């Protein structure tokens, strides 16, 4: 009986010693991490920052420390001006940007970034992971797990491009194409608004079409309608191409008012006008040619 008790005591002692060794290893690892963090802080710290923290904490400022806060304020104001200038230049206005650290080591780090903003009337949110590998002269950064969400419904021509961007992780291509795509969408909207304001009796944009369709109704021939479909296509490579088509809807009783050959080739003639005159002037010629308005 006594021998069995001694065996059990030895097993408990061995287990206790093993637990102590594990704890000592964990403490040593935590001490190394602490020293590493302190080293990074010392590399990135500066006297102005320390002076600013001292002032915020209520400590007595060192000589010249009273200049720190105004200097930091000027730096922040300059950064805000730079951001405003960038927004005016590229047409993209950022609303929020958040970052959370997923991994932080002495050799590499991973951050999860979330950026939301507006490009004209197109709202967007971009989420991605930014990895940074330290070493050498310059750290290497790469993007992974890219996800883009657009806050608009009329984006069926943009969806295939977004899928390609998420696959290739090409964030720069997304922002560059977003600006061009937004500009073409704005041009379409302004053109249709112009015709609605100028020819409100015959021109209108059907509800729910998101400015992709302009309807021209003949004022004296019920059922005689001309549809201008204006789409904006985007290739997977980011090439933005507007496309305009003219569709006709002419009742049989109204065909006698128009030469049949002219109506049949209206779409082809419209494309010729587009190449020569551009969208707005071509639409003006169509409106005048079919007698929707008179001078």
Residue 108 maps to which CATH number? 3.10.450
Give the domain range for residue 271.
Answer: 184-289
Q: Is residue 133 assigned to a domain?
A: yes
279 & 235 share domain = yes
188 & 176 share domain = no
Q: Is residue 201 assigned to a domain?
A: yes
Among residues 286, 294, 119, 289, which one has the least CA distance to residue 214? 286
Whether residue 205 contacts residue 213, with contact meaning beta carbons closer than 8 Å, is answered with yes
DSSP annotation of 82 reads H
What tens-digit pLDDT sequence spans the chain (295 residues)? 555 545 555 666 666 666 666 666 666 666 666 555 555 545 444 555 555 555 545 555 555 545 555 666 776 676 666 666 666 666 788 888 888 888 888 788 888 999 898 888 889 999 999 898 887 777 888 888 899 998 766 677 788 899 999 999 998 899 889 999 999 989 999 999 998 888 888 888 887 666 788 888 877 777 788 889 999 999 989 999 999 998 888 766 656 665 554 555 667 788 888 888 888 888 888 888 766 665 5
Among 181, 196, 218, the domain boundary falls at 181
Whose tokens are 């001078």? That residue is 295
- pTM, 2 dp: 0.66
195 & 156 share domain = no
Q: Is residue 80 assigned to a domain?
A: no
> How many domains does the chain fold into?
2
Whose tokens are 């991490």? That residue is 33
Whose tokens are 């899928």? That residue is 163
Phi, psi of 51 (to 5 degrees): -60, -40
150 & 112 share domain = yes
Q: Is residue 78 assigned to a domain?
A: no
Which pLDDT score, from 0 to 100, does residue 202 have? 84
């Amino acid at each position: 009986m006594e021998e069995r008790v001694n065996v059990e005591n030895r097993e408990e002692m061995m287990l206790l010693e093993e637990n102590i060794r594990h704890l000592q290893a964990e403490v040593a690892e935590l001490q190394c991490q602490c020293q590493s963090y302190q080293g990074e802080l010392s590399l990135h710290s500066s006297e102005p920052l320390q002076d600013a923290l001292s002032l915020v904490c209520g400590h007595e400022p060192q000589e010249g420390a009273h200049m720190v806060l105004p200097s930091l304020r000027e730096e922040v104001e300059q950064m805000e001006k730079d951001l405003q200038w960038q927004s005016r230049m590229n047409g993209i206005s950022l609303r929020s940007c958040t970052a959370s650290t997923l991994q932080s080591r002495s050799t590499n780090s991973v951050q999860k970034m979330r950026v939301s903003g507006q490009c004209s009337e197109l709202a967007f949110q971009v989420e991605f992971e930014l990895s940074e590998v330290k070493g050498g002269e310059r750290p290497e950064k790469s993007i992974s797990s890219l996800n883009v969400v657009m806050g608009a419904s009329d984006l069926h021509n943009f969806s295939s491009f977004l899928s390609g961007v998420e696959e290739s992780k090409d964030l720069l291509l997304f922002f560059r194409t977003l600006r061009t795509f937004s500009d073409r969408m704005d041009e379409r909207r302004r053109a249709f608004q112009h015709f609605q304001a100028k020819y409100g009796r015959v021109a209108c944009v059907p509800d729910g079409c998101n400015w992709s369709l302009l309807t021209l109704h003949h004022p004296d021939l019920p059922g005689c309608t001309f549809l201008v479909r204006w789409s904006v296509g985007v290739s997977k490579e980011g090439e933005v191409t507007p496309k305009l088509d003219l569709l006709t809807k002419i009742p049989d009783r109204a065909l006698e008012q128009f030469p049949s050959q002219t109506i049949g080739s209206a779409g082809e003639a419209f494309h010729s006008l587009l190449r020569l005159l551009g969208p707005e002037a071509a639409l003006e010629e169509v409106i005048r040619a079919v007698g929707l308005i008179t001078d």
